[in-house]
Structure formats: structure tokens, C-alpha cells
A = this chain, B = another copy of it.
Amino acid sequence: MPARNTVQRQIIIDALRTLANHPTADEVYEAVHAEHPGVGRATVYRTLARLSDEGVVGRVRINNGADRFDHQTFAHYHVRCVCCGRVDDVMAPVLQGIDEAAAAVSEYRIVGYTLQFDGVCPACQAAEKNDEALTA
């Protein structure tokens, strides 16, 4: 059953294209709802889930945090700032043969993997330096 081309679906796709930097479902909802107060939260969550199932958008799963959505769909990784929660792309070469390596030591049929980096973003690194200067 192909997805119906509803007004809401298009609004949500457009919002995702407009919003930068991996918005959460709730951020998409806020943006959509601000412009179109009739659109409900459940619709945004349901539609984002469908879109990512269909491969129209990407879903970035974040440890201990809300999932984020990405209008880019090519394979790439993400890094999350442990200080401020910001998420950015990591354009590292995609790991080759890692599924096979896991399959070789497991009884599972491997269907995929998630790799997430944790780090400190430039802004928070700068803030750290300020703190040190003040403390010293």
C-alpha cells in the first residue's frame, strides 16, 4: 500500500528540508505546528516513522535521547556533543565488511548496525577553555 499523498505528509517533508542539523521529531512538530496549527503531534511522529521506513528520509538513533531525522539519506555517521547534545555529520568512510565480521562470530543473521560517536563540539571546547581560564 503506497503512502497517500496527504497535505500533512508534504508539509512534514518540506519542514525537514528546511530545518537544518538533524531535528528531533518534536522539533519538526514545533516547526510544522507553528505554521499549520491544525497538524497534530501524532501525525508528525507517524509520518516521520513512515518516511524513514520508506527511505525517503533518514532516522538517526541517539543513545539516551530523542531520535533525529535527516533529509539526507546517503550513508554517513553522526557525532553527538556530550555537553550540549548537538548532533553533526561525520563524513568518515563507511566501514566495510563489518556486518560480515559480526556474523562470523555470532549465531545471528546480521541485518545492520548503528555507529554513533560521542565528542565535544567546537563551541563546547571553547567554553571549556574559558572555564579553565576563569578557574586558574
- Taking Cβ atoms with an 8 Å cutoff, the residues of A that contact B are 61, 63-64, 67, 77, 79, 81-82, 88, 90-93, 95, 98-99, 101-122, 125
Q: Is the CB of B109 within 8 A of A120?
A: yes
Chain B residues with Cβ under 8 A from A93's Cβ? 101
Chain B residues with Cβ under 8 A from A118's Cβ? 110-114
Q: Is the CB of A110 within 8 A of B106?
A: no
Q: Is the CB of A63 within 8 A of B64?
A: no
The CA-CA distance from A111 to B83 in the complex, in Å, is 12
Nearest B residue to A106, CB-CB: B90
The CA-CA distance from A114 to B110 in the complex, in Å, is 17
A96 CB, nearest partner CB in chain B, Å: 12
